[in-house]
Amino acid sequence: MSTFAFDVSHFLAGSLVLLSFFLLYQDRLPPLINIFAAQSLVLAVSIAWQAQTQNAPHLLVTAGIALCFKSIVIPFVLYRLIRDLRIHRTVETVVGIGPTMIAGMALVGLSMALMMRATSGIADLAREDLAFSLSVILLGLLMMVTRRNAVSQVIGFMSIENGLVLAATGAKGMPFVVEMSVAFSVLIALIVIGIFLFRIRERFDTVDVAILDRFRGERP
Amino acid sequence: MLVGNVLLCVAALIGVSCFAVWACRRPWANSAIYGASAVFCAVALAGAIAALVGGAASTLTLPLGLPWIGMHFRIDALAAVFLCVVNLGGAAAGVFALGYGRHEHAPQRVLPFFPAFLAAMNLVVVADDAFAFLLSWEFMSLTSWALVVSHDRSAETLRAGLIYIVMASFGTLSLLLAFGILAGPDGHYAFSWMRARGPNPNETMIAMFLVLFGAGSKAGIFPLHAWLPLAHPAAPSQVSALMSGVMTKVAVYAFVRIVFDLLGPIDWRLGMVVIGVGAVTALLGVLYALMQHDLKRLLAYHTVENIGIIFVGLGLALAFRANGLTAAAALAVTAALFHVFNHSLFKSLLFFGAGAVQAATGERDMDRLGGLMHTMPRTAVTFLIGAAAISALPPLNGFASEWLTFQAAFLSPSFPQWGLRLLTPASAAILALSAALAAACFVKAFGVTFLGRARSEAVNLARETDKASQFAMFALAGACGVAGVFPGFFTNLLGPVAQFLTAARIPAQAIAAPWSPLLPVAASHNSYSGFVIAGCLIVATAVVAFAIRLVANGASRRGAAWDCGYPDASAMTQYTAGSFAQPIRRVFATIAFRAREMVFMPAPGDTAPAEFKATLHDPAWDLLYTPVGKAVGFLADSLNRFQFLTIRRYLNLVFLTLVFLLTVLALWP
């Protein structure tokens, strides 16, 4: 593989991680959705580039799915969702931006150290891709853990899926069926979560999960 | 295709089981289901005998189970012997249940599971890969569990079922881990592959202990026997006979198959462990049995004792084989397998007798029985034959196989290790002690149940059991006699198995003339002829009977029993199970079970009755099960908090665990 092709892939994967950091500290919902759309767009470009360099035309379909669903349909639906829920102007209280960012950097360091050791012996590009995708996954999880708003948790979940797809396309020869089913499962998750959010809101007047905890039946 | 024939019988049994689900409430269902089970078992028995005599191994792979791997089945000499045991016991139980099953209150709870249980035991024996083996093993556990809890009205039965299913799961887990070790990093499940691979010594040791736990918990070695005396009596009697007489043998099969066949060379110290475990099991099993007054529970504890005897034989075989003494190993393994066969005969017979008594009187408690000799003479005679066989009295079969075990133990001076030279005679002495105690125990069981006078009205109303049950009992009693009088015939049949397991066999016995003796080692060593002893006994009995008839008055008369001068000759003043065992309880159980006796005398002038109280502590429960149960309960209580966390806490937990594991992985040297 030429150095140029490697550099471009590297750059795109790095951009995904950078956008994950954006997601981590953004505390208003509309920009959060924008960043997610941007991340999905970068992912689509990255997959298309992989299709080019790996000579794998079926990856173009994957890229198309990422582009259509994740950077257009899902953000659009989420926009409608927060508008209908009337939470598009709320500012979320994110626990300590500074510590969260430091934790995020530590996670990136961890995944680099781990993946570079674990994958010695395979192609360089795949190693970098795996390291970056693990970073994206861990950052998405961190986001889910630190946020209290259900919508931002959904976005964290979706960005985890972005990381998974990045890892899958970096490794050569992922079956197309797998990618399709992952894409559809994410869509279904979106639908289910959307419906649930409305139901929750109807019932409890909030989508703050900390407040939902009070209503759990098991707890005395 | 011998294995194909057996598998067809298995399929037919499963078909009968499915049919029974539909038919179980019809009036003819009992005869049809049990009759069909007995017939298919008899066909499989014929196939097994053909395989044993024919000698060639027969294999078959069916495209069932795991895709692309299938299930492997194989019949070799070892499997053929155990198939004979399973199907002989199954056919006998089927015939017995033709009559006995009519007493069943809820046939829909028993009928569908009985043929399935038989099919499962057959499948375990013919399985030739770990997957097929474990699947059949679990099938066997589950069907037998369903039979144990078939009378689920009492809390006692439910407790027995719970303990049984927990122990069965533990056993399967151990076997699963053992197969995991045997399969190695490549994970091939076929037995042929495991046999070829040959694990290293550490793997062998761990796998052997796992198999000892796994197969031992099903067979009932101490202290894993706890479920057995609870579950065996709880089931209907034909099932008790199968569980005690046959299923424990399937567990022995699992032990022999894995340890002797798949594991390869085994250190002599592990043989010592097996001998020690067997000896302790035999002694404690018979001591437990002596303390019982429930007839079926007493029999179940005797199964524990006999499993101990079998494991002593197997342990001796392992130790001899480890030292290259193949002829002695062949003798020990022949003795153990012969005892497997014999025990399946007389234990089934005894459980049939206990079942017949229970059906006739509604009682299992010996202290409410007595005098059944007069109302049920045929059951009494067959029970007496079974009792004599299990007490190892010549010329019956129990003596023949225990005698062979002793002959193997007498070869212990040829061991190079002092540990074995000392342990083997000690365990032989323990076996002798437990054989004597077993005889005492069956004097008690037979005497209290069948002799003396009736202790409850139910006994006077008892009727002799039906013809089918009588036929099954007399057939088994006859088999006990044949195996005892002509043991050479059976040891010859076991020759190929000994050859397969130990690369040697005991000398072929002359069976042309019926009086030729059994020569387990060589003509210069000990010999035993069951035929001669049986002949002497018959002649002596005939002479004595003739002499008495000659001298004595022919008329028989019935008089009052001498009452030792006491005016009240109530039936309750007879020896009971507890009072008969009191001397033995005082001598042995004071240490083994911390038995204590207390007498409460009322003050002079007080008219309250005096009270006598005997207490026992079960060491297996006190030292093992109760602490383990408490620990599990404590852990469950402390982990219970995790049931009630919030979603965010769960997410945090997942996240932190993931990061922790990744960090460990990154820092792993």
CB contact at 8 A, B373 and B116:
no
- What per-residue confidence (pLDDT) applies to A173? 60
- Both B65 and B161 in a single domain? yes
- What per-residue confidence (pLDDT) applies to A198? 66
Predicted-complex ipTM score: 0.82
The rounded distance, in Å, linking the Cα atoms of B308 and B659 is: 51
Give domain limits for chain A.
Answer: 3-215
Contact criterion met (CB < 8 Å) for B658 and A114: no
- What per-residue confidence (pLDDT) applies to A181? 66
The rounded distance, in Å, linking the Cα atoms of B225 and B243 is: 13
- What's the number of domains chain B is made of? 3
Contacts of B292 (CB under 8 A, 6+ apart): B229, B298, B301, B577
pLDDT tens sequence across B263-293: 878 888 999 999 999 999 999 999 999 999 8
In a domain, B19, yes or no: yes
- What per-residue confidence (pLDDT) applies to A176? 61
The rounded distance, in Å, linking the Cα atoms of A179 and B313 is: 60
The rounded distance, in Å, linking the Cα atoms of B573 and B556 is: 26
CB contact at 8 A, B612 and B597:
yes
- Both B181 and B279 in a single domain? no
- The torsion angle over the Cα atoms of residues B598, B603, B609 and B611, rounded to 10 degrees, is 0
- What per-residue confidence (pLDDT) applies to A219? 47
Nearest CA in chain B to A210: B648
Cβ-Cβ contacts under 8 Å, A144 against chain B: 651, 655
What does DSSP assign to residue B67? Answer: T
The rounded distance, in Å, linking the Cα atoms of B507 and B381 is: 35
pLDDT tens sequence across A146-183: 887 778 888 888 888 888 888 877 766 666 666 666 66
pLDDT tens sequence across B323-348: 989 999 999 999 999 999 999 999 99
In a domain, B578, yes or no: no
Contact criterion met (CB < 8 Å) for A142 and B655: yes
pTM for the predicted model, two decimal places? 0.82
Q: Rounded to whole angstroms, what are the CA distances from B71 to B74, B135, B148, B415?
A: 10, 10, 29, 41
In a domain, B349, yes or no: yes
Residue A209 sits at the chain B interface (C-beta within 8 Å): yes
Domain end: B456, B482, B504, which one?
B504
Is B655 exposed, middle or buried (CB count within 10 Å of its CB: 0-12, 13-18, 19+)?
A: middle
Asked whether the predicted pLDDT for residue A220 surpasses 50, the reply is no
- Both B7 and B133 in a single domain? yes
What does DSSP assign to residue B102? Answer: G
- Range scoring the smallest mean pLDDT among A78-92, B577-591, B594-608: A78-92
Cβ-Cβ contacts under 8 Å, B651 against chain A: 141, 144-145
Cβ-Cβ contacts under 8 Å, A218 against chain B: 643-644
Residue A218 sits at the chain B interface (C-beta within 8 Å): yes
Contact criterion met (CB < 8 Å) for A114 and B666: yes
Nearest CA in chain B to A141: B655
In a domain, B202, yes or no: no
- Per-residue tokens: B215: 């197969």
CB contact at 8 A, B297 and B288:
no
Cβ-Cβ contacts under 8 Å, B652 against chain A: 145
Domain end: B504, B522, B542, which one?
B504
Asked whether the predicted pLDDT for residue A218 surpasses 50, the reply is no
Q: What angle do helix axes A29-54 and A3-25 make, rounded to 10 degrees?
A: 160
With residues binned 3-state (H G I as helix, E B as strand, rest as coil), the percentages for chain A, rounded to 5, are 80, 0, 15
- Both B163 and B273 in a single domain? no
Asked whether the predicted pLDDT for residue B633 surpasses 90, the reply is yes
pLDDT tens sequence across B597-611: 888 888 888 888 888
The rounded distance, in Å, linking the Cα atoms of A171 and A157 is: 22
The rounded distance, in Å, linking the Cα atoms of A42 and A47 is: 9
The rounded distance, in Å, linking the Cα atoms of A126 and A128 is: 6
Structural domain of B340: 266-504
Minimum-distance CB partner of A110 among B644, B655, B666: B666
- Both B287 and B428 in a single domain? yes
What does DSSP assign to residue B599? Answer: E
Domain end: B504, B528, B549, which one?
B504
Nearest CA in chain B to A104: B659
